Amino acid sequence: MNIFRLVADILHLVSFGALIHKIKTSKNCLGISYKTQEIYMVVFLTRYWDLLLYYVSMYNTLMKIFYIGCTAYIIYLIRIKKPYCLSYDPVSDGFPHAKFLYPAAAILALIIHPEFSAFEISWSFSIWLEALAILPQIDMVRRHKEVENITGHYMACLGVYRGFYILNWIYRYFSEGLVTWTSVLGGIVQTIIYADFLLVYFKAKQQSLKGSGSIKLPV
């Protein structure tokens, strides 16, 4: 494992911690998109369904279980556990993800994949779906024109984590001669989607008042 992969994984873990911390401390899930969490659950299940079939390393196995477990827990808090679920706003979380994102990821997976097999198609679907997963959350933020600091940190961690994964792929290409173009292309799409939000977010954060619990966005 190289330093870029390690930093990326740490940022991904921090993003989970930030979101759970936000929900638990504020006792609400205002400004958090359930649809984005639902998509991430589908991403992890379609990517890691071989968890019980193949063993790579303890680190790899634990990370997969952690991703699935944390996402399931966040979904539980948003949709089932009181008092957190009482503040969920389905109207603001109105991005038509089932209509657009799942079909788009499925089509891209059938067109761009390492090889034509059930696992590789499923894996490719998860890559393309992850690239699009944050769109409901970004749409929710834009509807509110405001984002809480901790929610913004969560989204920023996800964006920067993917950037480090791109550096990881570049490093592996030059050091090991390995490249998976599905991952690279999906990562580039995901980074572009995040780039616009991150640019607006960090500019707004610089202009916001110190101590403020939320940031007004010019969106």
194: burial class by Cβ within 10 Å (0-12, 13-18, 19+)?
buried
Token code pair at residue 146: 């405001």
Task: Report pLDDT for 180.
Answer: 82
Q: Which residue has the higher pLDDT, 183 or 102?
A: 102
DSSP string, 159-183: HHHHHHHHHHHHHHHHHH----HHH
DSSP string, 76-130: HHHHTSTTGGGG--TTTS---HHHHHHHHHHHHHHHS-SSSSHHHHHHHHHHHHH
Q: Is the dihedral of CA 110, 111, 116, 121 positive or negative?
A: negative
pLDDT in tens, 86-101: 999 999 999 999 999 9
Closest by CA to 183, choosing from 175, 196, 172, 197, is 172
CA distance 153 to 24: 16
Boundaries of every domain in the chain? 3-208
32-41, 113-122, 148-157, 200-209: which is most confident: 32-41
Closest by CA to 151, choosing from 64, 37, 32, 68, is 32
pLDDT in tens, 19-71: 999 999 999 999 999 999 999 999 999 999 988 888 889 999 999 999 999 99
Task: Report pLDDT for 211.
Answer: 54
Per-residue DSSP letter, 208: S
